[in-house]
Amino acid sequence: MKILSIETSCDDTCISILEMSARGGKVLANNSNSQIQVHIPFGGVYPVLAKREHAKNLPVVLDASLMQAKLHKKVPTSKGVGIPTASVGEKSPVDAIAVTYGPGLEMCLWEGITFAKDLAKKWNVPIIPVNHMEGHVLSVFGKDKGKFKVPKIATPVLSLLVSGGHTQLVLVKKDKTYEIIGETVDDAVGEAFDKVARMLDLPYPGGPQISKLAEEKRKRAAQKNLLPISLPRPMLHSKNFNFSFSGLKTAVLYLVRDLDGIEKIDDKIKAQIALEFENAAIECLVYKTKKAIEKYGAKTLIVAGGVAANQHLKNEVKKAVGKKVKILFPPKGLAGDNSLMIGIAGYLTIKATGNLKLR
Ligand code: KG4
Ligand code: ZN
């Protein structure tokens, strides 16, 4: 069966088409339109603009995906060249449409949902609503092209979900029920990365920028530090699995202020701050994850969401978690928001409910 999936929860307009069978799937198309350039002047996602961009980009990305999947209807033109057209009122090119319903920016989500509903009506196919965070968890099984498998994994499964909006530890038990065993009490870790990047005058989106600066500084470990910089690890030893990143972010704000503002901070000190911030944030994530694995006897660890692209997080998780636990990260290109993960989640919903026959 073919599933078309749509993701518009934040600032990426994404549409994929997957050909799924009972054993796994094949990527027929995977396209997205990033709005980064539109939001750079605002230093973050500007929701009204994001909604407008989704409305403009959805038909374009749909066309590109139908073309890539070779599912477009070609019509003869006066020039004799085939021009693609959406398959309106024709036999549907897909069997179902999966769409992100939340969590995310409400006006952005509605653009995707309304677009999906219109298509579903036109093509007379069912709509499968997908939770964005569930999508992130399942991103670890995807591939951005070619064939992929959705294997059975050993339970209990612990998921560390780290994005711009969420920081959660979710436990999937043997009976497939799940429980959020810990989460941030204030800022999400990606949000803290983005806000600290802004304080350091780095462009949006800040996470990869901080990470790049920190990684370069880490490689020059032998180089003498110009200042002794030490940031807090909030809630590191709290007796639960919650996180807090707001105090860490504020500590950077005070540090920058005490150094007489970002204009007075040279690039070497900036890199030192980025490194100490990244070390502190990742230490909090990894410490609690390790504790949770031990407490619940998790057999599999999934690390997903935009921040899962962070190389230091990957290295530290691998170091801290023993070889007995299988660790799964999203493949390159699937850590951040994408529609492929939404397609996989839609497929598993269909499989679980048996609503559509898998061919
Ligand atoms: O999952 P995602 O694409 O969107 C949300 O659902 O929020 O995550 C985006 C977040 C942003 O905060 C971005 O700065 C962060 O992921 N991010 C990173 C890295 N790449 C993306 N944070 C730290 N290191 C990275 N390499
Ligand atoms: Zn996300």
H helices of the chain, in order, are 36-39, 47-68, 106-123, 132-138, 189-199, 206-219, 246-258, 267-296, 311-320, 340-353
347: its two tokens: 């497929």
Atom number in ligand 1 closest to CA 136? 1
Atom number in ligand 1 closest to CA 311? 26
Ligand 1 in contact with 12 (CB < 6 A)?
no
Residue the block writes with tokens 């005058």? 201
Q: Say if CB 171 and CB 298 are below 8 A apart.
A: yes
Burial of 76 (0-12, 13-18, 19+ CB in 10 A): exposed
Q: What is the pLDDT of residue 36?
A: 86
Residue 8 CA, ligand 2 centroid: distance in Å: 10
**Digitized pLDDT (tens) for each residue of the chain, 359 residues in all:** 999 999 999 999 999 999 998 888 999 999 999 888 888 888 888 899 999 999 999 999 999 999 999 998 755 445 444 434 444 456 899 999 999 999 999 999 999 999 999 999 999 999 999 999 999 999 999 998 999 999 999 999 999 999 999 999 999 998 888 999 999 999 999 999 999 999 999 988 899 999 999 999 999 877 777 788 999 999 999 999 999 999 999 999 999 999 999 999 999 999 999 999 999 999 999 999 999 999 999 999 999 999 999 999 999 999 999 889 999 999 999 999 999 999 999 999 998 887 776 54
179: its two tokens: 């429980």
- CA angle at 205 for the pair 138 and 274, rounded to the nearest 5°: 105
Residue 223 CA, ligand 2 centroid: distance in Å: 36
Ligand 1 in contact with 167 (CB < 6 A)?
no
Q: What is the pLDDT of residue 89?
A: 53
Q: Say if CB 245 and CB 184 are below 8 A apart.
A: yes
Residue 238 CA, ligand 1 centroid: distance in Å: 25
Q: Whole-model pTM?
A: 0.92
End-to-end CA distance of the chain: 5
Q: What is the pLDDT of residue 90?
A: 63
Ligand 1 in contact with 135 (CB < 6 A)?
no
Pairing of strands 2-7, 96-102: parallel
Q: Angle 206-219/189-199 helices, nearest 10 degrees? A: 80
